[in-house]
Amino acid sequence: MTATADDLLLAIPNVSEGADEAILDAIGAAFTAAGGATLLDVHADADHGRTVFTLAGRPGQLAPALRDGAAAVLEHVDLRDPARAGLHPHVGALDVVPLVHLDPARRGAACAEALHAGALLGELGLPCVLYGPLGGGRTRADLRRGGPAGLAARVRAGEVVPDFGPREDLHPGAGAVLLAARPPLVAFNVELAAPATLADAQAIAARIREGGPDGLPGLRAIGLELAHRDGVAQVSMNVEDHLALPLRDVVAAIAAHAPVAAAELVGLAPQAAFADFPTAVPVRNRRTVEDALARVS
């Protein structure tokens, strides 16, 4: 695999398990067992109850890798287990699977790979629902409304019809898979300095997310409290267009309401997302797509 390959795609499966290292190792190994995909990054979070895997591969390689990883998820992760609750909104054990194109020229290949992946995941008995442009503009937030039970009720009522796999109900233990093709998205968390509370984080998230009083374009944000981090208050975000909204502006918007202690990158981000980022704010797990690809070239 070369970092400059003009047909290279990313797949970023999100799994609703963030603590059991043995399970996560087994799932990560399954994604790469056939040899077509390379595992670039794994980000696990016990509080969120979520692990984000980042895979790289060429068209035709990622869909089978996702099927093999999904089979391991079905073996190890059951949403009926209370331990799978987690803080992060979700509707499935293999919750979200975006195929990511690194430039507009690869958009068509990413769309085709997403549809191929949906067909293979459907063969495993997983209902797959398209979102974003492939899904007619449906959003993750709308599909997650009410959690697995809410989506299941809408599927049974015929209000949402899965695009692949079973169409009448969700998988009893694995829920549904949300599937898309999209450009890079930056998952980014900011921790507030003590004595900030959950209420503070929730209020800030409501103000700065798109549609809020101080809304930033393409920003999705929720406020959380991290039990595994001694009750740290966190604003957890997705930045949908890092060129229109660099991370420095996100930090500045939060800092206007409360002191910022630290930040955290979930998965990988394009290098441009960190343009002029404040050096006074430490960022855990700061890794770029470009660096990760260079190490496997």
Per-residue pLDDT tens over the stretch 218-231: 999 999 999 988 89
Domain that holds residue 24: 9-182
Mean pLDDT (the chain, rounded): 95
If asked whether residues 156 and 191 sit together in one domain, one would say no
pLDDT at residue number 295 = 78
CA atoms within 13 A on the CB side of 173: 11
Per-residue pLDDT tens over the stretch 180-210: 999 999 999 999 999 999 999 999 999 999 9
Residue 5 has pLDDT above 70, yes or no: no
Residue 2 has pLDDT above 50, yes or no: no
Of residues 95, 80, 82, the one with CA closest to residue 131: 95
If asked whether residues 173 and 197 sit together in one domain, one would say no
- Which residues are 236's β-sheet partners? 189, 222
Domain boundary among 124, 157, 182: 182
The CA R_g of the chain, rounded to the nearest whole Å, is: 18
- Judge whether 2 lies within some domain: no
Quick one: what percent of the chain has pLDDT higher than 70?
98
Rounded to whole angstroms, the Cα distance separating 249 from 163 reads 37
pTM comes to 0.94
pLDDT at residue number 85 = 73
- Judge whether 49 lies within some domain: yes
What value does the mean pLDDT take over residues 34-58? 95
| CATH number of the domain residue 120 falls in | 3.30.990.10
- Per-residue HEC secondary structure of the chain comes to CCCCCCCCEEECCEECCCCCHHHHHHHHHHHHCCCCCEEEEEEEECCCCEEEEEEEECCCCHHHHHHHHHHHHHHHCCCCCHHHCCCCCCCECEEEEEEEECCHHHHHHHHHHHHHHHHHHHHCCCCEEECEHHHCCECHHHHCCCHHHHHHHHHHCCCCCCCECCCCCCECCCECEEEEEECCCEEEEEEECCCCCHHHHHHHHHHHCCCCCCCCCCEEEEEEEEHHHCCEEEEEEEECCCCCCCHHHHHHHHHCCCCEEEEEEECCECHHHHCCCCCCCCEECCCEHHHHHHHHC
If asked whether residues 221 and 239 sit together in one domain, one would say yes
- Which residues are 82's β-sheet partners? none
User: How many other CB atoms are there within 10 angstroms of residue 284's CB atom?
Assistant: 12
Residues near 264 by Cβ (< 8 Å), separated by ≥ 6?
Answer: 188, 189, 190, 191, 283, 284, 285
What value does the mean pLDDT take over residues 262-274? 97
Token pair belonging to 20: 């059991």
If asked whether residues 140 and 32 sit together in one domain, one would say yes
If asked whether residues 156 and 206 sit together in one domain, one would say no
Phi, psi (rounded to 5 degrees) for 296: -110, 5
- Judge whether 1 lies within some domain: no
Token pair belonging to 261: 């202690």
What value does the mean pLDDT take over residues 55-64? 97
Rounded to whole angstroms, the Cα distance separating 170 from 167 reads 8
pLDDT confidence of 3, banded at 50, 70, 90? very low
pLDDT at residue number 87 = 85
Token pair belonging to 76: 């190890």
Residue 61 has pLDDT above 50, yes or no: yes
Q: Is 66 exposed, middle or buried (0-12, 13-18, 19+ CB in 10 A)?
A: buried
If asked whether residues 39 and 147 sit together in one domain, one would say yes
| Strand-strand pairing, 94-101 and 9-11 | antiparallel
Per-residue pLDDT tens over the stretch 87-134: 889 999 999 999 999 999 999 999 999 999 999 999 999 999 999 999
pLDDT at residue number 1 = 42
